[in-house]
A and B are shown apart, each in its own frame.
Chain A
Amino acid sequence: MSGLSDVVNGAVQIAEAMGVTLKNLLTRPVTVEYPDEPVAVFPRYRGRHMLRRYDNGLERCIGCCLCEAACPTGAILVEAAENDPANPHSPGERYAKTYEINLLRCVFCGDCEEACPTEAIVLTQAIPMPEYSRRSFILTKEQLLEPPEMNVAIRPEA
């Protein structure tokens, strides 16, 4: 009787399916409740930018504008100015008077990092937070010099 075996097979299959779902019911949710708890990212994750300083407090950026030239989306604006020798911002002759990055344009490719001769601009692993206005997505030099809040956990590579 193929009809009866069909019924039995179908019932067994449904029972198996329900077993699978029941097993999943009893496992811990894999959800990461992101803003409350950090997401795990790899060490080479490219997140929000940061402008670095030397140990003596001087800015690494010498205002060469290479990052601006390298940026594929034109997200970076650098305006350089001459350093005051008595009170220098950076060890070189010039420094960046303004340094702005538009996060709405940035594609986080890391080309600015590659182009920078002094390793001043780097991409950290921090994830940029949402904002309420377009204007606040433009990071100013002051914001970039501050190390960002690390809202992520670094997971081991491999």
Chain B
Amino acid sequence: MNWIEVFLIPFIKSLVLILALLTGFAYMTYYERKVLARFHVRYGPNRAGPFGLLQPVADAIKAIFKEEIIPAHVDKWVYLAAPVLALIPALIAFAVIPIGPDLNLFGRQVSLYIADVNIGFLYVLAVASVGTYGVILAGWSSNNNYSLLGALRTAAQMVSYELPLGIILVAVVLTTSLATGEGSLSLVGLVQQERPWWVWLWLWVAFPIFFICMLAETNRSPFDLPETENELVAGFQTEYGGIKFALFFMAEYIHMITASAIMATVFFGGWQGPFVDRWPALGILYFVVKVILVLFLFLWVRASVPRVRYDQLMHFCWKFLFPVSLVYLAITAVLVALL
């Protein structure tokens, strides 16, 4: 192992990934506004640049040049650390997701993931939970009733919904042992695995449940209770403005992108698709298209379903999703044991 393989290549890959994710975030806001506008039978942003494509740039410039306001009553260091803490987990969760097959670049075999961790699933779950801290610390340090309420709701919501989410992932991991006889916790291994059609079918049964959990995890409508613009005055973000607010926004959208990438990887075969063997670069395209389609689902649900009440949210998780995912796990376990 020389230094190029140990440091340089992962560094470049991380840099490219972060840049791609940040650009992805910017255009995710554009995508959301455009698609949501079409759901509302309007056009959406179309003034800045052709088709409004420069709108994210304008928004970014606006956010950066806003006055930096730190309210007098906040816990300053925690207040400043919170948006960063919210953003970083969203970014680093992407490290274990394979974006494409191995490519031959500049005479070198380059794998299109940053790390093939053998506990990939655990890593994703763990990192996703850390993101909750950003929200809670933001609510706490703001020293504001509404922010704290928003943050507390988030804590309860995220902890609750991680449960069915994790259980479904356990079931998915169980099915990885069906084809080869030995299971794997690695997302890279999961994508490379050949799985028979009935395994796919069985996985897709769990997709709606998993998707609902992801909606709650990423605080998206109809589970956007942490934010609840019209009840909690934007919840934990009340005291944040300018670029710090933009960081929370960024965290939310990158969470969405990461969640979509995980769903595309787990349920729709990641970069796999026709002709990938012949042109490996096609894998990246398949991956991106799949992520965009899952993201569309997020927006579609946002346009269709009104926000649920807080007790309904908890009720739904603990009395419906949790038992259903347990039953799903039990059936999967029995199937895997029998086959």
Contact = CB atoms under 8 A, between A and B. Distances in A.
A18 interface: yes
Interface in B288-339: 300-301, 303-305, 320
Given A7-B320, A22-B300, A17 B305 contact: yes
Contact of B39 (A7, A25, A31, A33): A25
Given A14-B304, A18-B304, A33 B320 contact: no
Interface in B33-62: 35, 37-43, 46
A8 to B, nearest CB: 12
Given A25-B38, A29-B37, A29-B38, A17 B43 contact: no
- Describe A's contact surface by its main secondary structure: helix
Given A18-B300, A25-B35, A33-B46, 15 more contacts: A7-B320, A14-B304, A14-B305, A18-B304, A18-B305, A21-B39, A21-B304, A22-B300, A24-B41, A25-B303, A29-B38, A29-B41, A29-B42, A30-B41, A33-B43
| Interface residue range, chain A | 10 to 19
- In this complex, the member of A14, A20, A21, A24 whose beta carbon has the largest number of chain B beta carbons within 10 angstroms is A21
Interface string B8-40: 000000000000000000000000000101111
Contacts of B303: 21, 25
A21 B43 contact: no
A27 to B, nearest CB: 6
A25 B296 CA distance: 12
A128 B37 CA distance: 28
26 contacts: A7-B320, A14-B305, A17-B305, A18-B300, A18-B301, A18-B304, A21-B300, A21-B303, A24-B38, A24-B39, A24-B40, A24-B41, A25-B38, A25-B39, A25-B303, A27-B41, A28-B41, A29-B37, A29-B38, A29-B41, A29-B42, A29-B43, A30-B42, A31-B41, A31-B43, A33-B46
Contacts of A33: 43, 46
A153 to B, nearest CB: 19
Interface in A1-30: 7, 14, 17-18, 20-22, 24-25, 27-30
Given A7-B320, A29-B37, A17 B42 contact: no
Contact of A20 (B35, B40, B301, B304): B304
Contacts of B38: 24-25, 29
A27 B43 CA distance: 11
Contacts of A31: 41-43
A112 to B, nearest CB: 37
Contacts of B300: 18, 21-22
Contacts of A29: 37-38, 41-43
B112 to A, nearest CB: 32
